[in-house]
Chain A
Amino acid sequence: GAVVSQHPSRVICKSGTSVKIECRSLDFQATTMFWYRQFPKQSLMLMATSNEGSKATYEQGVEKDKFLINHASLTLSTLTVTSAHPEDSSFYICSARVGRGFGETQYFGPGTRLLVL
C-alpha cells in the first residue's frame, strides 16, 4: 500500500504559539490530501481537504484562519495550528488519496499528537 508520513509524531507547546505539522506521500504523488482530528475514544472528524496548488476546503465549524493548510507540492501538505490553545490538544491525522473516483482509497499517516499547555 501507499505510504504516508507525518512529522512530528508528537509536539508539546505553550499556549499562544503556532505549530506546523507536515504530511508527506512517500512513494506516490497526491493531488488531494485530507486533515482529520481525533479526540480520545472518538472517531476521525474531517477538518479540511487540501488540494495541490489551490486553497483548502474547510468543513463547517473549522476556522480556516486558525488551521492554515498549504499544499505546495504533490507530495507535501502542511497544517499550521496558529495561536494554539489547550482545547486544540488532539490527535491530528492526515491522509492522501490514491486514485480518483471509483476505486479511490485514502491512506493515512501515523498521526501527530499535539498537547498545548
Chain B
Amino acid sequence: EDQVTQSPEALRLQEGESSSLNCSYTVSGLRGLFWYRQDPGKGPEFLFTLYSAGEEKEKERLKATLTKKESFLHITAPKPEDSATYLCAVQAGGTGANNLFFGTGTRLTVIP
C-alpha cells in the first residue's frame, strides 16, 4: 500500500536557523515526488518535483533532495514569511497513476 509520512508534524525555528523537513514514502513505482507549500485557508502552491534518487532542486532558501526511500526539504536561513505548512505528495506508477497521494504535512513557524 502506498504510504507517505512527513516529520516532524510541527517545527518552530528562529529566523536564520536552518533545518530540514522529512518525507518518507513507500510506493509501487515512483513516478514523481512533489513538494507544495500551503498557507492557511489557501490552496497548495507548487514548489518542486523530483523524479529519481540523487536528484536535487533549489528555489531561494529551499532545497529538495530525493533518495529511494525519502525526500528532504532543506530550509536555509529561514525568514518569517517561510512560515506555512509544507506538503509532500507522491505519484505512483500503478493503477490510479493520475493521483497524488499526500502526506499530512509539516507546519513550519519561523519566529522573528
Name A's B-contacting residues (CB within 8 A). 1, 4, 6, 32, 34, 42-46, 49, 91, 93, 95, 97, 102-111, 113
Contacts and interface: CB of A to CB of B under 8 A. Distances in A.
Given A105-B46, A105-B49, A42 B41 contact: no
Given A108-B44, A111-B42, A113-B41, A43 B34 contact: no
Contact of B46 (A6, A107, A113): A107
Given A102-B51, A105-B34, A108-B45, A43 B87 contact: yes
A113 B43 CA distance: 11
Contacts of B100: 34, 44, 46, 95, 106
Contacts, number: 54
A111 B98 contact: no
A44 B46 contact: no
Contacts of B45: 108
Interface of B: 31-32, 34, 36, 41-46, 49, 51, 87, 91, 98-105
A111 B101 CA distance: 18
B99 A44 contact: no
A111 B41 contact: yes
